[in-house]
Amino acid sequence: MTIPELLRWQWSGYSKNHLSRSNLLIHIFVVPLFWIGSIGLVTAAFERSLIVLACSLLAMIVSVALQGVGHKKETVPPEPFTSRFNAVSRIFLEQWITFPRFVVSGGWLRAWRQAS
């Protein structure tokens, strides 16, 4: 699956996998943690800093783990990963493109209001 196809597929089912208030709340706080970790990876490479690298990886792992906890609260869980490449690409695309799009499009707020 190409990146544009993956983005279309991810977006097509995104709202049905993000209906729980606790999952929405987790995402709104920990997706920025993933961004900080991702930016930290680039910074660590330029500065050749193992401390920044370790902290950045930890931030990303914690973010993904907490989102996993949130997804377990959903009635419709996300599709399972089919490979390591699929997992990494889906995670990065969700964090950097699909979730921000969900927020900016009003999807997050609509889901929040509709959640019980």
Residues 10-31: pLDDT tens digits?
Answer: 999 898 989 999 999 999 999 9
Structure tokens at 40: 């930290």
In a domain, 62, yes or no: yes
pLDDT number for residue 115: 86
The interaxial angle of helices 50-71 and 21-47, nearest 10 deg, is 160
Domain tally for the chain?
Answer: 1
Q: What sign does the dihedral 57-19-96-31 (CA atoms) show?
A: negative
What is the extent of the structural domain holding 99? 17-114
In a domain, 81, yes or no: yes
Q: How much is the average pLDDT of 35-60? A: 96
Whether the pTM exceeds 0.85: the reply is yes
62-99 confidence digits (pLDDT tens):
999 999 999 998 988 888 899 999 999 999 999 999 99
